Amino acid sequence: MKLLLDLFSSIWTGVVLLSLLFAYSALGSAAPAFRQMRIFEMTEFEWFHFWPFNTLIALICLTMTVTTIRRIPLKPVNYGVWMIHTGIITLAVGSVIYFSTKVEGDAPVVRRQVRIQLPGQAPATLVAMPGNSIELGGPENPYRFRIASIDPDWEILSGEDRGKRAYSVSVLVQSTEGIFIRQLLAGYPQYTEDLVRSTEPGPPWTRAKKALGEPLVDQGLELSLVYGPQEWFYLSNDISKNWALYLREFSEAGPPGPWVERPIEGLPLYNDYVADPADVWSTSPERARPLHVEVPAANATDDPLADVTIDVKSYLRYAVMETRRQIGGERFDPVVQVKLGTAKGHVEELQLVALDPRRRRAQGGWLVYEWVDSDQAFEKLLEPQEPTLRVRVPPASVDIEVPIRTLSRDDPDLPFETIEGTGYSWRVQNRHDGLVLPTGEVISVAVIQIRTPDRSFTRWVSDDPTKTRDLADVSDPAAEHPDAVELDTGIVMEYSPGVRPAPVTIVGGPTEDDLRLIVASFGEPPRSQTIAVGESVSIASQITLTVLRHAAHTSVVTRPMIVPRNQRNRDARARLSMIQVELPGAGESRSHWLEYHDWPILDSTHSLGRVVYRPLRVALDDGRTVELMFSRRRLRLPSPVALDDFVMETHVGGYTGQNLSILNWTSHIRFQTDDGWCEPLAVSVNDPKAFGGLWYFQAQWDPPSESSAGRNFTVLGVGSRHGVHVMLIGCCVAVAGMIWAFYVKPVLKRRCHQAGNTAVALGHRRTALRTAPAPEPAPVGAGEEGWS
Interface of this chain with another protein, residues 468 to 487, rule: CB under 8 A: 475, 477
Helix, strand, or coil (residue 222): strand
What's the CA gap between 358 and 441, in Å, rounded?
10
Q: Is residue 338 at the binding interface for another protein, with CB under 8 A as the rule?
A: no
- Contacts with another protein: how many residues (CB under 8 A)? 106
Contact stretch for another protein (CB under 8 A) within 319-327, 428-436, 510-518, 654-662: 654-662
Residues 386-415, interacting with another protein (CB under 8 A): 409, 412
Q: Which is nearer to another protein, 427 or 592 (CB)?
A: 427
Q: Is residue 549 at the binding interface for another protein, with CB under 8 A as the rule?
A: no
Q: Is residue 686 at the binding interface for another protein, with CB under 8 A as the rule?
A: yes
Instruction: Identify which of 125, 233, 132 has the alpha carbon closest to the alpha carbon of residue 599.
Output: 233
What's the CA gap between 271 and 283, in Å, rounded?
15
Q: Is residue 366 at the binding interface for another protein, with CB under 8 A as the rule?
A: yes
Strand order in the sheet with 388-393: 398-403, 388-393, 492-496
- Given candidates 658, 675, 676, 766, which one binds another protein under the rule CB under 8 A? 658
Could you give the angle at the alpha carbon of 519 between the alpha carbons of 514 and 520, nearest 5°?
Answer: 135
Q: Is residue 15 at the binding interface for another protein, with CB under 8 A as the rule?
A: yes
> Minimum distance between the CB of residue 715 and another protein, rounded to whole angstroms?
12
Question: Using CB under 8 A as the criterion, what x/- string covers residues 563-582 for binding another protein?
Answer: --xxxxxx------------
Helix, strand, or coil (residue 29): helix
Other beta carbons within 10 angstroms of residue 244's beta carbon come to: 22
Q: Burial level of 257, CB count in 10 A (0-12/13-18/19+)?
A: middle
Q: What is the 3-state secondary structure (H, E, C) of 616-670?
A: EEEECCCCCEEEEEEEECEEEEEEEEEEEEEEEEECCCCCCCCHHHEEEEEEEEE
Q: Is residue 281 at the binding interface for another protein, with CB under 8 A as the rule?
A: no
What's the CA gap between 71 and 76, in Å, rounded?
15
What's the CA gap between 518 and 298, in Å, rounded?
60
Q: Is residue 524 at the binding interface for another protein, with CB under 8 A as the rule?
A: yes
- Given candidates 555, 661, 700, 757, which one binds another protein under the rule CB under 8 A? 661
Q: Is residue 45 at the binding interface for another protein, with CB under 8 A as the rule?
A: yes
Q: Is residue 503 at the binding interface for another protein, with CB under 8 A as the rule?
A: yes
Q: Which is nearer to another protein, 350 or 471 (CB)?
A: 350
CA-CA distances (angstroms) from residue 277 to 280, 288, 290, 448?
6, 6, 10, 52
Q: Is residue 767 at the binding interface for another protein, with CB under 8 A as the rule?
A: no
Q: Which is nearer to another protein, 19 or 418 (CB)?
A: 19
Q: Strand runs (DSSP E) across 679-758, as ranges?
A: 681-684, 689-691, 694-701, 713-719
Q: Is residue 625 at the binding interface for another protein, with CB under 8 A as the rule?
A: no
Contact stretch for another protein (CB under 8 A) within 264-272, 598-606, 669-677, 718-726: 718-726
What's the CA gap between 84 and 732, in Å, rounded?
9
* C-beta of residue 448 within 8 angstroms of C-beta of residue 473: no
Contact stretch for another protein (CB under 8 A) within 260-268, 384-392, 580-588, 650-658: 650-658
- Given candidates 4, 29, 484, 763, which one binds another protein under the rule CB under 8 A? 29
Q: Which is nearer to another protein, 620 or 731 (CB)?
A: 731
* C-beta of residue 271 within 8 angstroms of C-beta of residue 36: yes
> Minimum distance between the CB of residue 423 and another protein, rounded to whole angstroms?
24
* C-beta of residue 131 within 8 angstroms of C-beta of residue 146: yes
Could you give the angle at the alpha carbon of 646 between the alpha carbons of 642 and 650, nearest 5°?
Answer: 160
> Minimum distance between the CB of residue 313 and another protein, rounded to whole angstroms?
29
Contact stretch for another protein (CB under 8 A) within 448-456, 516-524, 608-616, 766-774: 516-524
- Given candidates 228, 334, 501, 688, which one binds another protein under the rule CB under 8 A? 688
Q: Is residue 526 at the binding interface for another protein, with CB under 8 A as the rule?
A: no
Q: Which is nearer to another protein, 95 or 183 (CB)?
A: 95
Q: Is residue 664 at the binding interface for another protein, with CB under 8 A as the rule?
A: yes
What's the CA gap between 431 and 38, in Å, rounded?
50
Q: Which is nearer to another protein, 421 or 786 (CB)?
A: 786
If phi over 0 gives left and psi between -120 and 50 gives alpha, with beta otherwise, what is residue 616?
A: beta
Q: Is residue 703 at the binding interface for another protein, with CB under 8 A as the rule?
A: no
* C-beta of residue 600 within 8 angstroms of C-beta of residue 246: yes
Contact stretch for another protein (CB under 8 A) within 180-188, 433-441, 560-568, 673-681: 560-568
Residues 725-754, interacting with another protein (CB under 8 A): 727-728, 731-732, 734-735, 738-739, 742-743, 745-747, 749-750, 753-754
Q: Which is nearer to another protein, 1 or 30 (CB)?
A: 30
Q: Is residue 539 at the binding interface for another protein, with CB under 8 A as the rule?
A: yes
Q: Is residue 108 at the binding interface for another protein, with CB under 8 A as the rule?
A: no
- Given candidates 355, 532, 685, 755, which one binds another protein under the rule CB under 8 A? 685
What's the CA gap between 186 and 702, in Å, rounded?
18
Q: Which is nearer to another protein, 137 or 723 (CB)?
A: 723
Rg of the Cα trace of the chain? 36
What's the CA gap between 680 and 657, in Å, rounded?
28
